[in-house]
Structure 1
């Protein structure tokens, strides 16, 4: 019985250690402008851009303030290096489109 409990403790410790070992972070800070005016209340999302059947991981999301400023920071556990991608959902000087445009950087 003690052998099973010891084995489970070791396995759980290794899983926790592995998750910590592969945790990676990314952040982005910026100001969005539409011509000479700030883009306020604009949705921004930070992703880990994954390829293949693996879906992109959402790291953080938010909106710009009245001055167009934003700050996003997030983390995820990946074996390979992460590829941060910023999506900006805006309607800058586009009176024709009802849906916001999506720009990925």
Structure 2
């Protein structure tokens, strides 16, 4: 079974405000394992979901150690929630259409950080 290592997954949420619309950013970093083994080359996508739309933000593949890192940004005045989709089935390496979707706020607490810290 595909398992997100919650103790190593860190999710950061930050907001940058402009006079017109807010640019909101989300970063996701983690390590995927299948039955205690690193899950390499797994497709991971980050989306923003609000009341009336779903917007694709970023995608990547895990490295051979199962690690991934994503950063997504969206200009929006509305309140939105990040969703992380993991496309893999540990029991069947050929079945990559399997999708596991997680709301990031349910995986790990979101943390506000100053923009200056991110831009270093």
Q: Return the structure number with greater helix share.
A: 1
Aligned length: 85
Q: Distance in 2 between matches of 1:82 and 1:50?
A: 4
Which residue pairs with 2:75 in the alignment?
77
Q: Which has the larger radius of gyration?
A: 1
Which residue pairs with 1:27 in the alignment?
27
What do you get for the CA RMSD once the two structures are aligned? 1.8
Deviation at 1:59, TM superposition (A): 1.2
Deviation at 1:72, TM superposition (A): 0.3
Is there any run of 5+ residues in structure 1 with no aligned partner, and where? Answer: 1-15
Q: Distance in 2 between matches of 1:86 and 1:27?
A: 11
Is there any run of 5+ residues in structure 2 with no aligned partner, and where? Answer: 1-17, 103-120
TM-score under structure 1 normalisation? 0.72
TM-score under structure 2 normalisation? 0.64
Q: Distance in 2 between matches of 1:37 and 1:58?
A: 29
Q: Which runs of 4+ in 1 moved over 3 A?
A: none
Q: Distance in 1 between matches of 2:55 and 2:98?
A: 21
